[in-house]
Structure 1
Amino acid sequence: MAAGNILIVDDDEDILTAGKLLLKRHFDRVVTCNRPEHIPDLLADRTFDAILLDMNFGPGESTGRQGLAWLDRIMTIDPRAVVVLITAHGGVDMAVEAMKRGATDFITKPWQNEKVVATLSAGVKLGQSRSEADTLKKANKVLARTPEQPIIFDNPAMAGVMDMVERAAPTDAGVLLLGENGTGKELVARAIHARSLRAGSVFMNVDLGALSESLFESELFGHKKGAFTDAREDRTGLIEAASGGTLFLDEVGNLAPHLQAKLLTVLEQRQITPVGATRAVRVDVRVIAATNLPRERLADETVFRQDLLFRLNTVEIDLPPLRDRAGDIPLLSRHYAGFFARKYQRPAVTVSAAALDVLSAYAWPGNVRELRHAIERAVILSSGDVLRPQDFALSSPSVTPKLTPAGAPAAPGGDMDSAADGTGQDGAGLPADLNLGRLEKTAIATALRKHRYNISHAAKDLGVTRAALYRRMEKYGL
C-alpha cells in the first residue's frame, strides 16, 4: 500500500463504489464525493495527493464543460493539485484541452483497473513531490529572511572590507575570504548574500573541514539509493540544495588535493553527478569560499591547486584579526553585552571602563569569536549589572606552555628536572598542578595557538574530533 490520499468525484454511485473498492487496497485513504459543489469544502478540510474527477455531471451531460469548470475551480483553490480526469472515449479531445488547463492525466471509461492504479500512483508521487518542493521553497524563504547579524566596526581596514562587500555583492563573481579563525568570515559571506540578487534564495553553509574524505562526494553531490551500503534512499547533495542561491564553502583550504580537483570540475561545468547516478544535474550557485590559510600558503601548488584558486578568488577579501582593530573591541564588547543580556533575560548589562581596558589590551588569538564567548560567559556568571575585569578569566596568549613528553604542560620557562621551588615542577619533573580540568584547558589552548586556531589541525593534534574540541572550547571559554 502506497502512502497517499485520493479524492474521487463522480455523480455515478457505481463508479464511486468500484473506485473506492479498487483504490483502498493501494492507498492510505480514499474519499468519494457525488456532488462537485462539495469540492471546495473537502479541499479546505484536508490535502489530497490526487483527485480523480469526472468530466460530466447530471443526466444527459456529455460536453465536458462541467468538468472543465470544476477543474478551473480546483486549480484556483490549489494550483499544486494533481487532477486525473475520467472521460468517455469520445471526450479525449476535451481531456487534452483540460490538461492544457492544469490536469495531470486522464483515464477513459470503461477503465482498466491496472491503468487506474498506475495513473494514480504516478499522480500521488507527483503531488507529494510538489508538496515537498513547495515546503522547501517556503523553508528557503524563511532562511533567506533570517535577520542579518550586524558587522560592528569603526576600523578603516574593516571599512575597506565592507566597501568591497558592497561592490562585489550585486555580481555573481566568486569571492574568496581570507582571515584567521574567528574573524567573521561567515558573517561577511552572509552580508554578501543579503546584498546580492540571490538574497531571496537559500544561503547554504558547508564546513569542508568537518567532512571526511569518504563522505565528501555523497554530502556535496548527493547519492542514489543503493549506491553504497548505507544508501537506503536517494539523497540530494548540498550543492544541488543550494541551487539558485549562495554556496558558502568554509575551510576550503583544508581540502585534500584530489578533492580539490573534484570541486574544480563542478565549478567549471556547473553540474554535479550524484554517487551512483548516470546523469549529471545542472546547478546554479554563487560560490563564496573561506580559508584561514595565509596567502603565501595558498600560493603553494603542493598545498592548494592554483587553477581552483583562480576559480574561487575573482574577488579576494582579507579580514583583519581583532588585534589589528583593537579600537573596535569596546564597540563589540558593548554590543555583545547587550545581546546576551537580552538572550538570557538579564537586566541591562554594561562593561566598566576598567574591563574595557583589560579587553582592549588582550591579543585575542581567537578573534571576535573568542571575544563573543568571553562576553557571553561573563554575562551568564556575573552577579551584577556591570562587567568588571574579574569577570573575565583571560590568560596571556603570548605565553605558550611547554609540554612534557607525556603531554602534560610545564610552566613557561621552567626546567623539566627542577625542584618545586617556584618553577611549577616537583622534583620528578612533573607539573605541580595536577588538576585534570586545568591541564586539559592548557593543552587545548596550546594546540589552538600552535595551529593558529585551525580547528581541524588542532583537533587532530589533540587526538579528538572537531565536535569534541568545540565542546571543550565552549566549556573552557577558549
Structure 2
Amino acid sequence: MIKKRIHMIPAHILVIDDDDDILLSARLLLKQHFSQVTTCKTPKEINVLLSHHDIDMVLLDMNYQKGASDGREGLYWLEHILSIDKDYVVILMTAYGHVELAVQAIKKGATDFILKPWENEKLYATLSAAFKLRQSSRKVKKLEKINGSLQKDQARKFEHILGNSPAIRQLQNTLIKVAPTDANVLILGENGTGKQVFAYELHQQSLRKNQIFMHVDLGSLHGNLFESELFGYAKGAFTDAREDRPGRFELAENGTLFLDEIGNLSLPLQAKLLSVLQNRTVTRLGESKPRNVNIRLITATNMPLDDMVAKGTFRQDLLFRINTVELMLPPLNQRSDDIILLATHFLASFSTKYHKQITQISDTAAKALLAYHWPGNVRELQHVLERAVIMTDGDQITEEDLQLNPQRFGSSVPAGKGMDLEDMEKAMVSKAIEHHKGNISRAAAELGLTRAALYRRIEKFGL
C-alpha cells in the first residue's frame, strides 16, 4: 500500500470493469487520494455517467466478454468516449500485456495503458500525471475560447472616465468605493453615456483586474441563442453543436461579466438568469451537471427598470439581485462642463489614429459644441470629432468641420407636457429613420445603437 496523501487531488475518476473485485480494490485505493470515484460494471452506462458527472479521467478495462483477450471492446469504447469529447483522459487496463495492443490504444487516443494486477504506486502516479494533463488541456481550451470571444474587442481601446462636472466627480467617488468589492452593480443611463466605459473602469479598479472582462450585449441575443451563448452547450445538444463549448459565465471565471442591455430580456430569460445568479452555477445545454461559477456581475440598461417592474415586464427579484449598487450616468447635455474636455481628448486620439497634425478646436467650433444638445451623448460627440478629423484639411477643427445641424433628428423633439421618456425615444428613432431615408445602418450610427438594437425599437414602437 502507498501512504495516504494529506491533500486530496480534486479529480473525479470513473472506473469501468466487469470484475467486482477490481472495482472494489480500485475504489478503496483511489478514494484515499482523489476527491470522487465512480465505478460501474458495463461500458454501456458511459453515456449516462458522462452526461451527469464532470468526469476528469476514465479508467477503462479492455475486455468484457468472458474469455476475451484481444482488447477490441476496450478500443471500441475508447473511440466512443473520445467521440463525445476528444479531450477526455482515458487510461486503459488489461490483464494481457500485448505491446501491439498498447501501441494501438495510444494511437487511438488513450492517455496511458496499465496492466492488471496493478502496482498501487504506479497506478497513483499514472492517474496523477493524467490529471495534470487534463488540467493543462482545460486551461488551453479555455484560453482559446476566451481569445475567440474577445477578437471583436481587440481593436477597441477603452477610454478612461473623463470629466470634471459635479455629476461625474460624484460617480467617480462612488466607483472608488464600490470597485474593490464584489458587489453587483447596475449602470443606468441613456444610449451613448458611457455605460461600458464605467463597467470596464469598475473592473480595472477591482481585485479581479488581472482576470478577464467579458462583455455580452444581451440586446443582440435572440431567445434561442441566450442559453447557448451564456451557459454553453455540450456536443450534440442541437444540430450545429459539433463540440463542447463553455458559455460566457464559464469563460469569465474569476473575472468580471458585463451584461449590457439587460432590460431587453424577456420574462422567461430573466427567470433563467436569476436562477444562475442565485445558485452561482450554470448547466450547459445538453447536460444535467451544474458547474460552479465565480464572477463579478455588472449589468447596464437604458430602460426604466423600476417602471418595468411596476408594469410586470421585469422581475423585481432579479432587479434586487443585480442592483446592490446603482450608478445613474447623466446625459451629456447635463454635464456641459465636460464637453470641451471630451472633445479635446477625442481630437488628440483621432489625430493620432489618422496621422494628422490637428492641434485645436476653434472658438466658433467650441461654441457650437456647447450649444448643441447631444441626443446621442458622448458616443455622438466621439463620432462627430472622428468625422471632423477625417474631413478637415486644416490644423484646427472649425464649426463647418463639425457638421452640426440644429435641425438634425431629435433636436426638434419637444419635451412637452405628457411626453415621457418612451415617447421621446420613439420620436428620436422615427426622426433618425426619416432623416436617413430608411437606411438602418446610418440611423443606428446616428443614434449610437447597433442595428439589432434599432430593429428592436422599430418593432417595439411599431414604426
Aligned residue in 1 for 2:297: 287
Say if 2:319 is the partner of 1:319.
no
TM-superposed CA distance for 1:327, in Å, is: 1.3
Residue 160 of structure 2 corresponds to residue 150 of structure 1: yes
Q: CA offset at residue 379 of structure 1? A: 0.7
> Which 10-residue stretch deviates more, 345-354 or 158-167?
345-354
> What corresponds to 2:185 in structure 1?
175
In 2, Cα distance between equivalents of 1:313 and 1:387: 42
Q: Do the aligned partners of 2:219 and 2:453 also contact (CA within 8 Å) in 1?
A: no
1:442–1:258 CA distance, 2 compared to 1 (3 A): closer
Match for residue 92 of structure 2?
none
Amino acid at match of 1:399: S
Deviation at 1:140, TM superposition (A): 10
Counterpart Cα distance in 2 of 1:345 and 1:20:
63
Any idea what the Cα deviations from partners look like across 1:231-252, whole Å, max 9, x if unmatched?
2222211112112111111000
Shift of 1:383: 1.1
Query: C-alpha deviations, 1:56-89, integer Å up to 9, x for none?
Result: xxxxxxxxxxxxxxxxxxxxxxxxxxxx588997
1:37-116 equivalences in 2 (<5 Å): 92-96=119-123, 98-99=125-126, 103-104=129-130
Q: Name 1:307's counterpart in structure 2.
A: 317
CA distance in 2, matches of 1:363, 1:375: 15
Matched residue SS, 1:317: strand
CA contact (8 A) 1:323 1:364 kept: yes
Q: Which runs of 5+ in 1 are unaligned?
A: 5-14, 28-48, 51-83, 106-122, 402-435, 465-478
Is the 8 Å Cα contact of residues 271 and 282 (structure 1) preserved in structure 2? yes
The residue aligned with 1:458 is 454
Distance change >3 Å, CA 163–CA 298, structure 1 → 2 = farther
Whole-Å Cα distance in 1 between the matches of residues 312 and 332 of structure 2?
Answer: 30
Higher relative contact order (CA 8 A, sep 6+): 2
- 2:113 paired with 1:26: no
Residue 132 in structure 1 maps to residue 158 in structure 2: no
User: Which protein shows a greater Rg?
Assistant: 1
Which consecutive unaligned segments of at least 5 residues does structure 2 have? 1-78, 88-96, 415-433
> Which letter maps to 1:286?
R
The answer on whether the counterparts of 2:444 and 2:451 sit within 8 Å (CA) in structure 1 is no
Deviations 1:107-153 (A, max 9, x none): xxxxxxxxxxxxxxxx9877644533466689999999x97521110
Q: Partners in 1 of 2:272 and 2:264 — Cα distance?
A: 14
* 8 Å Cα contact 2:444-2:450 kept in structure 1: no
Query: Are positions 1:275 and 2:288 aligned together?
Result: no
Partner of 2:20: none
Residues 185 and 323 in structure 2, CA contact (< 8 A), matched pair in contact too: yes
Q: Which amino acid aligns with 2:454?
A: A
SS at match of 1:289: strand
Q: Measure the CA separation in 1 of the matches of 2:157 and 2:280.
A: 30
Structure 1, 148-157 or 364-373: larger mean CA deviation:
148-157
Paired letter, 1:241: L
RMSD of aligned alpha carbons: 4.0
Secondary structure at the aligned position of 1:370 is classed as helix
Aligned counterpart in structure 1 of residue 390 of structure 2, from 365, 380, 383: 380
Per-residue deviation, 1:224:
1.5
Query: CA 1:24 to 1:258, structure 2 compared with 1: closer, same or farther past 3 Å?
Result: closer
Q: Please report how far the alpha carbon of residue 292 of structure 1 lies from its aligned counterpart in structure 2 after TM superposition.
A: 0.3
| SS of residue in 2 equivalent to 1:320 | coil
The 2-side partners of 1:130 and 1:446 are apart by: 39
- Out of 378, 381, 390, the residue aligned to residue 371 of structure 1 is 381
The residue identity in structure 2 corresponding to 1:132 is: K
Is the Cα contact below 8 Å between 1:447 and 1:462 reproduced in 2?
no
TM-score by length of 2: 0.64
**How far, CA to CA, are the matches of 2:451 and 2:332 in structure 1?**
18
- Cα distance in 1 for partners of 2:444, 2:229 equals 32
Give CA-to-partner distance per residue, 1:34-76, whole Å, 9 cap, x none: xxxxxxxxxxxxxxx96xxxxxxxxxxxxxxxxxxxxxxxxxx
Corresponding position of 1:331: 341
Partner in structure 1 of residue 368 of structure 2: 358
Report the CA distance shift for 1:263/1:25 in structure 2 as closer, same or farther (over 3 A): closer
Tell me if structure 2 keeps the 8 A contact 1:266–1:272.
yes
Deviations 1:305-349 (A, max 9, x none): 111111111101100000000111100011000001111222244
Contact 1:358 1:389 survives alignment (8 Å): yes
Cα displacement (A) at 1:362: 0.6
Does the CA-based 8 Å contact 1:174-1:315 persist in structure 2? yes
Among 393, 417, 422, the alignment partner of 2:403 is 393
The answer on whether the counterparts of 2:253 and 2:294 sit within 8 Å (CA) in structure 1 is: yes
Name the structure 1 match of 2:22: none
1: distance between equivalents of 2:233 and 2:138? 18
Partner residue in 2 for 1:216: 226
Q: CA separation in 2, counterparts of 1:244 and 1:157?
A: 31
Aligned pairs for 1:421-440 within 5 A = 438-440=436-438
Contact 1:208/1:254 (CA < 8 Å) preserved in 2? yes
Letter in 1 for 2:411: S
Cα contact 1:179–1:294 (8 A) shared by 2: no
Task: Look up the SS of the partner of 1:300 in the other structure.
Answer: helix
